[in-house]
Amino acid sequence: MKFAILINSAPFSHQASDTAYQFCQAALNKGHLIHRVFFYHDAVYIGSSLMCPPQDEPNITVHWQNLAKQHGFDLAICIAAALRRGVLNEQEAKRYGKSSANLAAEFKIVGLGQLVEACLTADRLMVFGG
């Protein structure tokens, strides 16, 4: 089965990202595919390269990067949600006259059309967070 994943909640105030990550690991271990993980609303903070969690907490950004690299799926960040929250790639930082970008490697800023395409391509959409 091919899954599309939608995460809506911030990484450190809600369990959604951790639960989604564990779901993806379990699904991949059972031979399923992940087509795309789409980060929306406050979940876009997961794609920031500037997050520095305490040493005794998992770095969810690095976990997602490694899993996506290993299994070849997209980590998509909603452009509208990202811009509102200051998560920028080089192109958007330049467009808005910001001094630097902070989008973590492996993450891509995309439009909502990529979520729609993921829903149409996947067998199931799994939604994590409110």
Among all residues, which ones are annotated catalytic?
78
Closest to 41 in 3D by CA, of 80, 91, 93: 80
The DSSP H or E segment spanning 78 is: strand 74-78
The burial of 11, by beta-carbon neighbours within 10 Å (0-12 exposed, 13-18 middle, 19 or more buried), is given as buried
**Identity of the amino acid at 58:** P
CA 111, 70, 7, 103 torsion: positive or negative? negative
Pair 54, 22: CB distance under 8 Å: no
